[in-house]
Structure 1
Amino acid sequence: MSLTVNLYYTGEHGSAREFVREMEGSGIAAAIRAESGNEKYDYFQSLNDPETILLIDQWRDQKALDDHHASPMMAQLAALRDKYNLHMRVERYRDAEENPADEAFMRK
């Protein structure tokens, strides 16, 4: 059962967007995507708050996430967060069981 972590990075004067550009340009994001157990690592920009970037980070299970947190990329990521003076808010979710009643609200 997958574990999804939503991380909201908030800065000032476009610093969250610059953080993402550097994560992508430096190859750190690609290296995280290539880690065993990573299922999704995608950034999104809020339409309501241009100073906030959402990272949807999905892992196979808690062990895969723990291994990621112990990886050398975490020190690089933390250094970039400090460089851009970002603040974070975190939400964690586990995959829910499929519910046929939800299908009535889905458009595929």
Structure 2
Amino acid sequence: MSITVNLYYSGINGNARKFAEEMENSGTAAAIRNEDGNEKYEYFFPMNDPETVLLIDSWRDQNAIDAHHASPMMTTIAHLRNKYDLHMKVERYVSDTVEVPSSDVKFIRE
């Protein structure tokens, strides 16, 4: 089982992108990727909304998320969210399988 959290950071004047850039350039994102249980931590930029950044954040299980939330990284993230005056929308998904269903395989090009 994995838990994936999609976080949509929104702001004004390019602040969401500046936030993501600072997370990457400061090494904070890399440190989070190295935390035990982190499976994915990647930023994406929606083409139809230049003031939003999507973070796809996947973890092995709830214990890994809880450990991340208790880490010093959360203080850094909160500081940067406040610095760039960002608002968030969150979606949470729990995987039930790691294999692609056979009915979907014909639609996937690797």
Q: TM-score, normalised by structure 1?
A: 0.95
Is 1:9 matched up with 2:30?
A: no
Match of 2:104 in 1: 102
Structure 1 segment 1-80 matched on structure 2, within 5 A: 1-80=1-80
Give 1:100 deviation, angstroms. 1.4
CA RMSD of aligned residues (A): 0.9
What CA distance in whole angstroms lies between the structure 2 residues aligned with 1:107 and 1:94?
Answer: 24
Structure 1 runs (4+) greater than 4 angstroms displaced: none
Structure 1: runs of 5+ lacking an equivalent: none
Give 1:10 deviation, angstroms. 0.4
CA distances 1:20-65 after superposition (whole Å, capped 9, x unpaired): 1111111111110110000110000010101000000010111001
Q: TM-score, normalised by structure 2?
A: 0.94
CA distances 1:54-83 after superposition (whole Å, capped 9, x unpaired): 000010111001100010110110010001
Aligned residues: 108
Q: What SS class does the counterpart of residue 35 from structure 2 fall into?
A: coil
What CA distance in whole angstroms lies between the structure 1 residues aligned with 2:8 and 2:23?
Answer: 15
What CA distance in whole angstroms lies between the structure 2 residues aligned with 1:79 and 1:24?
Answer: 15
Q: What SS class does the counterpart of residue 105 from structure 1 fall into?
A: coil
Give 1:104 deviation, angstroms. 2.6
